[in-house]
Amino acid sequence: MKKSILMAGALLAGPSTWAATVTDGFDRADTAYSADGSAIGASWKNAGSSNRWKIEGGRLVADVREMPAILFNTALETTSGGGFDFTLSADVAVAASNRWAGVVFNYRDAGNFYCLRFKGGTRSYQLLAKIGGKWTELASQNDAAEPFAPGTSYSLEVFSEEPHEFHFTIRKPGKGRALNPIADATDEYNHFKNGYAGLYSPSSGTDAAFDNFRLEISKEAPRKKLRFTEAEPVRTCRIVERIPVEPVWAATPVGFALITESNLQFVAYYDANRQMTVAQRTLDSKDWTFQKLPSFLKWDSHNYIEMAIDSGGYIHLSGNMHVAPLVYFRSEKPYDVASLKEIDRMTGEREQHCTYPKFLKNRNGELIFNYRDGHSGGGDQIYNIYDEKTRTWKRLMDQPLADGQGERNAYFLDPVLGPDGWFHITWVWRETYKCDTNHDLSYARSKDLVHWETADGSPIVLPIRLDTPGVVVDPVPVRGGMLNGNGKIGFDSQKRVVLAYHKFDQNGKTQLYNARLENGKWKIYQTSDWDYRWYFSGGGCINSKIHIAAVEVDPEKGLLQAFSHKKEGSGLFKLDEATLKPIGFLRSMPWPKEIGATRSDFPGMQVKTRMDRNSGSGYLLRWEALPPYRDVARPKPWPKPAMLEVYKVQ
* pLDDT value at residue 1: 29
* pLDDT value at residue 10: 31
* pLDDT value at residue 50: 64
Distances (CA, A) of 636 to 1, 251, 274, 625, 633: 39, 9, 16, 14, 9
Give the separation between CA 57 and CA 44, rounded to whole angstroms: 18
161 vs 610 pLDDT, higher one: 610
In the chain, where the domains are located = 5-219
- Give me the phi and psi of 618, to 5 degrees please: 85, 5
In this predicted structure, the answer to whether residue 566 has a pLDDT above a threshold of 90 is: no
- Give me the phi and psi of 178, to 5 degrees please: -65, 135
Beta strands in 95-152 (DSSP E): 100-109, 112-119, 125-131, 134-141
* pLDDT value at residue 212: 92
357 vs 188 pLDDT, higher one: 357
Mean pLDDT of 88-117: 90
Contact in structure between 498 and 514 (CB atoms under 8 Å): yes
Angle, alpha carbons 514-519-523 (nearest 5°)? 25
What type of residue sits at position 238? R
Question: Three-state SS string across 399-458, please?
Answer: CCCEECCCCCEEEEEEEEECCCCCEEEEEEEECCCCHHHEEEEEEEEECCCCCEECCCCC
Give the separation between CA 188 and CA 256, rounded to whole angstroms: 22
**356 dihedral zone (left: phi>0; alpha: psi -120 to 50; beta):** left
Give the separation between CA 136 and CA 188, rounded to whole angstroms: 11
Contact in structure between 385 and 366 (CB atoms under 8 Å): yes
* pLDDT value at residue 33: 87
In this predicted structure, the answer to whether residue 206 has a pLDDT above a threshold of 80 is: no
Range with lowest mean pLDDT among 98-102, 105-109, 162-166, 318-322: 162-166
Contact in structure between 114 and 80 (CB atoms under 8 Å): no
In this predicted structure, the answer to whether residue 318 has a pLDDT above a threshold of 80 is: yes
* pLDDT value at residue 508: 86
C-alpha 475, offset from chain centre: 21
* pLDDT value at residue 18: 47
pLDDT band at 81 (very low <50, low <70, confident <90, very high): low
In this predicted structure, the answer to whether residue 46 has a pLDDT above a threshold of 60 is: yes
518: number of Cβ within 10 Å: 13
Give the separation between CA 485 and CA 500, rounded to whole angstroms: 10
* pLDDT value at residue 12: 31
* pLDDT value at residue 194: 79
* pLDDT value at residue 138: 86
389 vs 137 pLDDT, higher one: 389
* Sheet bearing 328-331, strands edge to edge: 305-309, 315-319, 328-331, 340-342
Per DSSP, the three-state class of 339 is helix
* pLDDT value at residue 3: 31
In this predicted structure, the answer to whether residue 205 has a pLDDT above a threshold of 90 is: no
Max mean pLDDT among 85-94, 187-196, 219-228, 260-269 falls in 260-269
Write out pLDDT tens, residues 465-501.
Answer: 999 999 999 999 998 999 999 999 999 999 999 999 9
Superfamily of domain 5-219, CATH level 4: Exo-inulinase; domain 1 (2.60.120.560)
Instruction: Report the mean per-residue pLDDT for the chain.
Output: 88
Question: Three-state SS string across 25-67, please?
Answer: CCCCCCCCCECCHHHHCCCEEECCCCCEEEEECCEEEEEECCC
Residues 6+ apart with CB under 8 A from 219: 1, 19, 83, 84, 85
Specify which residues 608 forms β-bridges with: 623
Per DSSP, the three-state class of 612 is coil
Range with lowest mean pLDDT among 101-115, 362-376, 478-492, 497-511: 101-115
* pLDDT value at residue 221: 46
In this predicted structure, the answer to whether residue 73 has a pLDDT above a threshold of 70 is: no
* pLDDT value at residue 562: 93
In this predicted structure, the answer to whether residue 237 has a pLDDT above a threshold of 70 is: yes
Mean pLDDT of 23-48: 83
Per DSSP, the three-state class of 597 is coil
* pLDDT value at residue 11: 29
Q: Which percentage of the chain shows pLDDT scores above 70?
A: 90
Per DSSP, the three-state class of 479 is coil
Nearest to 513 by CA among 563, 457, 445, 471: 563
What pTM was computed for the model? 0.80
- Give me the phi and psi of 482, to 5 degrees please: -105, 140
pLDDT band at 153 (very low <50, low <70, confident <90, very high): very high
Distances (CA, A) of 297 to 220, 304, 400: 39, 9, 28
Q: Which percentage of the chain shows pLDDT scores above 90?
A: 63
Residues 6+ apart with CB under 8 A from 411: 427, 428, 429, 430, 438, 484, 485
* pLDDT value at residue 593: 85
Mean pLDDT of 620-646: 93
Per DSSP, the three-state class of 106 is strand
Mean pLDDT of 564-573: 88
Give the separation between CA 382 and CA 346, rounded to whole angstroms: 12
Write out pLDDT tens, residues 515-537.
Answer: 999 999 999 999 999 988 888 87
Write out pLDDT tens, residues 426-469.
Answer: 999 999 988 889 999 999 999 999 999 999 999 999 999 999 99
Give the separation between CA 619 and CA 305, rounded to whole angstroms: 18
Write out pLDDT tens, residues 266-316.
Answer: 999 999 999 999 999 999 999 999 999 999 999 999 999 999 999 999 999
- Give me the phi and psi of 437, to 5 degrees please: -95, 15
Cα-Cα-Cα-Cα dihedral sign, residues 33, 38, 43, 47? positive
